[in-house]
Amino acid sequence: MTKRVVVLGATGNVGTALLHRLQQARAAGEVGSIVGVSRRGPDREGAPFDGVEWHRIDVTDPDAGPRLEQVMRGADAVIDLVWVIRPNRDREFLRRVNVEGNRTVFQAAALAQVPHLVYASSIGAYGKGSKTVPVDESHPTTGTPTSHYGAQKAEVETLLDEFERENPGLLVTRLRPGLIFGAAPAPEIKDYFLGDLVPAKLLTWLLKAGRLPLLPFPAGIRFQAVYQPDIAEAYWQVTRQRAGGAFNVAAEPVLDAQTIGQLLGARRYLELPVPVFTALAAASYRLRLQPSDPGWVDMAAVVPIMDTTKIRQVTGWSETMTSQQAVRQLLDHFDAPEVLGNGGHRSHSPLE
């Protein structure tokens, strides 16, 4: 039995799904107590927050380290989901949270003598790789220099390498998921990547199967996705089984122009050079028509396709939804009422 699990970033998209899974484990007698830590705490009551011990800690505060250490003492596992991508234009703030904040988390875990640290990395941490031959977890985590997300994920992986060398008695696990999709985060994902450029109801109507006459798509881009509850299951399985090391996590099949076109019922799709999409993203971002910088396109163009054999063999994890079904969940809920579970601070991407 895992007596005490501490989840940092517990009110984000993955955090809420993970709390729900941990509550199921507690009901089954597999978990004793669940501790949630976030900057503001939950802004609503009810599942999945019932029965969770809450601590409001901002990892950028000067006293965050000692407070985190106190919360972590006695934990069997700490699951670190700390990350923000907003405000996208404030790179100094992003670095304070994502890099220095995670450094603080790692140091607190060592001082609290936590036996198992599970960190939320990402496919975005990987450097350029093949879009046809899947790579395993040994692929270099050098990130995408022009993407703040990819560069910072890679930097934190380096911090974690140093942390492991300095703390050989502490088990470290890293999950590197593909894009995380589902119904719950759909409005937030739409808001982050498109803003008000396309009204949600119009977008949902267009994306209903059979209504899209033409799908423009970046030539050569192939990517992977996973359903939100399925990534929560992956976090629980590596925690429950004390599985250390790095794990790629994604559902089948790999997504590309053809599979997305089939999903949308597009009458035809048109693959255009990636620089066309980069230029469009750069211009619309510069004009503040939408909130996402072109670094996201750069990252999508270079990150590899991941081999997910390891997590399936080591933990027995498998997806309950295909990648196409996960995307369908997302597209069908762009216009749903947005429910913020992170204190009103919308910060998570489909990679978180």
Q: What is the pLDDT of residues 199-232, one digit of tens each?
A: 656 666 666 656 678 889 999 999 999 999 999 9
- Phi, psi values for residue 289, rounded to 5°: -80, -25
- As a whole number, the mean pLDDT across the chain is 90
- The residues that bridge with 306 in the sheet, in sequence order, are 135
- Prediction pTM value: 0.92
Cβ atoms of 65 and 108 closer than 8 Å: yes
Cβ atoms of 340 and 269 closer than 8 Å: no
- pLDDT for 158-204, tens place per residue? 999 999 999 999 999 999 999 999 877 666 776 666 666 666 566 66
- pLDDT for 109-153, tens place per residue? 999 999 999 999 999 999 999 999 999 999 999 999 999 999 999
What domains can you pick out in the chain, each with its CATH number? 2-179+226-251+304-319 (3.40.50.720)
Residue 267, pLDDT score:
79
* Single-letter residue type at 32: G
Whether the pLDDT of residue 10 is over 90: the answer is yes
* DSSP H helices in 73-172: 91-95, 102-111, 148-166
Tell me the average pLDDT across 21-26. 96
Cβ atoms of 144 and 302 closer than 8 Å: yes
Helix axes of 295-302 and 274-286: crossing angle, nearest 10 degrees: 160
Q: Nearest CA to 94 among 103, 81, 85?
A: 85
Token representation of residue 22: 């941990």
Residue 199, pLDDT score:
62
Q: How far apart are CA 230 and CA 63, in angstroms?
A: 34
Residue 340, pLDDT score:
42
* Single-letter residue type at 77: A
Q: Nearest CA to 122 among 231, 5, 257?
A: 231
Q: How far apart are CA 261 and CA 50, in angstroms?
A: 41
Residue 210, pLDDT score:
60
CB neighbour list of residue 135: distance below 8 Å, 6 or more residues apart:
126, 129, 304, 305, 306, 307
Distances (CA, A) of 92 to 88, 134, 289: 10, 34, 22
